[in-house]
């Protein structure tokens, strides 16, 4: 059997327990959900939607509360990222140091789901019946002040 990571194992364990909620999510200690309205209202989506994705924002280096959004896939994304970040744009996906996938809420009680940190699988289908949650974001606080980051990087 393929070994799975600690976070995936924990998320799967939580999902397979008897739960008393309609939705579950896995959020790290350096991530924060930032909704435009109450989350229970945001999750009032059709029952056919099994998986609700929230997209990431990322804390700007050297700031305490300024976040940027990732640049989505598109014909000019690579060039745009390299223009915005000329020193390292060719090394970061969508302009992010962290992942651009975001995280998800998944409906509980669905048989045969395999959870990962950024995706859900039902059989061979990735992210079944997904809906994008545009009224909330996942704020990532992965970066440190520039001098600390440069020390760590070196």
DSSP per-residue codes, the chain: -----HHHHHHHHHHHS--SSSEEE---TTEEEEESS-HHHHT---TT--EEEEEEEEEPTT-SS-EEEPPPS-TTHHHHHHHHSTTTGGGSBTTBSS-SS-EEEEESS-TTEEE-SS-EEETTEESTTEEEEEEEEEEE-----HHHHHHHH-
Which band of pLDDT confidence, cut at 50, 70 and 90, is reported for residue 3?
Answer: low
Q: For the segment 51-73, what is each residue's pLDDT rounded down to a tens digit?
A: 999 998 988 877 778 888 888 88
Domain tally for the chain? 1
- What pLDDT does 1 receive? 41
> Is 1 within the bounds of a domain?
no
Across the range 88-98, mean pLDDT stands at: 82
Greater model confidence, 97 or 39 = 39
Is 114 a domain residue? Answer: yes
Q: Supply the pTM of this predicted model.
A: 0.77
Residue range of the domain that includes 140: 6-153
């Amino acid at each position: 059997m393929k070994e799975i990571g600690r976070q995936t194992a924990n998320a799967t364990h939580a999902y397979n327990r008897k739960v008393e909620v309609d939705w579950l999510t896995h959020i790290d200690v350096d991530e924060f959900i930032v909704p435009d309205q109450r989350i229970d209202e945001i999750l009032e989506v059709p029952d056919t939607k099994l998986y609700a994705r929230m997209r990431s924002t990322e804390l700007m280096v050297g700031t305490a509360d300024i976040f940027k959004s990732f640049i989505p896939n598109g014909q000019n994304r690579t060039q745009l990222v390299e223009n915005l970040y000329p020193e390292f744009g060719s090394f970061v996906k969508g302009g992010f140091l962290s992942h651009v996938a975001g995280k998800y809420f998944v409906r509980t009680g669905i048989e045969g789901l395999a959870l990962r940190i950024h995706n859900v699988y039902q059989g061979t289908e990735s992210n079944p019946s997904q809906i994008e949650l545009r009224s909330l974001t996942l704020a990532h606080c992965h970066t440190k002040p520039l001098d600390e980051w440069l020390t760590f990087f070196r």
